[in-house]
Amino acid sequence: MKMPKIEKWFINRPRRAEQVINRAEKLLRFVDVKEKQDFLEVGCGSGAVAKHLAKKYLLNVTGVDIDPEQIGLAQQSTTNIPNIRFLEVDATHLPFPDSGFDIVLSFGVMHHISNWLDALREVRRVLRPHGYFIYTDIIYPEWMANLGRLFQRRYGITTTRDLDAFIKKNGFSTIYTSPKNSLLMQHDFEAVYHSN
């Protein structure tokens, strides 16, 4: 699902880009990053994180987003970054071969995808054995998720139990997670997983 214009305005601000880059750097401390690794950002938006990582770590970076406007923004200022590409792609149907990436990052995207489990399955499929999955998004308490699912079908509503079940079933080990215990309200959650 594409973001509403007001959310795009918020997400595309320079200050927001700086915050997301800082968050990526924080989570990359848990990853064995090596030059020339293949890196995928699912829901790359305007490409700020992808561009930063391609330049700083010399990774082969692919950024995907379903929104052509965001991909257009991401493609700007990339002529001097030969190790980056941006593609308009649906996260539930990634056009990449199995085990094609060493690191996959998804920042605040899955709640925009009603069938977010399909997107996570695609992430797992394209991630190499012993690869890293860096994930941040909104996690809902069970009561709020159950209520939300009654009224809203366009958004992905994830609970700790849903995410933990996916991680366990798909052979990931957890390297890092932020606290997951909010019984009253949704909250931002971040994690780094390692594929077995």
Residue 158, domain CATH: 3.40.50.150
Q: In percent, how much of the chain has pLDDT > 90?
A: 67
Helix (H) or strand (E) holding 72, with range, is helix 68-75
In a domain, 117, yes or no: yes
pLDDT, position 113: 87
On whether residue 178 sits in a domain, the answer given is yes
Residue with tokens 């800082």: 22
What is the 8-class DSSP label of residue 4? P
Note the pLDDT of residue 104. Answer: 98
- Predicted TM-score of the model (pTM): 0.89
Region 47-52: what's the mean pLDDT?
Answer: 96
Is 25 within the bounds of a domain? no
The pair of structure tokens assigned to 103 is: 């690191």
In a domain, residue 30? The reply is no
Residue at 26 is within a domain:
no
Domain of 101, in residue numbers: 5-19+37-195
Tell me: the pLDDT tens digits for 54-79? 999 999 999 999 999 999 999 998 98
Residue 140 counted as domain residue: yes
Least confident of 64-68, 82-86, 173-177, 181-185: 181-185
Average pLDDT over the chain, rounded to whole?
87
* pLDDT over 70 at 33, yes or no: yes
Residues 141 and 123 sit within 8 Å (Cβ to Cβ): no
Residue 34 has pLDDT above 70, yes or no: yes
Cβ-contact 132, 193 below 8 angstroms? yes
From CA 46, how far away is CA 194, in angstroms rounded? 27
pLDDT value at position 150? 55
Number of domains in the chain: 1
Residue 184 has pLDDT above 60, yes or no: no
CA–centroid distance for 84 within its chain: 17
Read off the pLDDT band of 14 (50, 70, 90): confident
The answer as to whether 191 is a domain residue is: yes
Q: Over 80: is that where the pLDDT of 40 sits?
A: yes
Among 127, 125, 103, 126, CA closest to 27: 103
Q: What's the 3-state SS for 5-35?
A: HHHHHHHCCHHHHHHHHHHHHHHHCCCCCCC
Q: What is the pLDDT of residues 129-169, one digit of tens each?
A: 999 999 999 877 666 655 555 565 556 677 888 899 999 99
The answer to whether residue 170 sits within a structural domain is yes
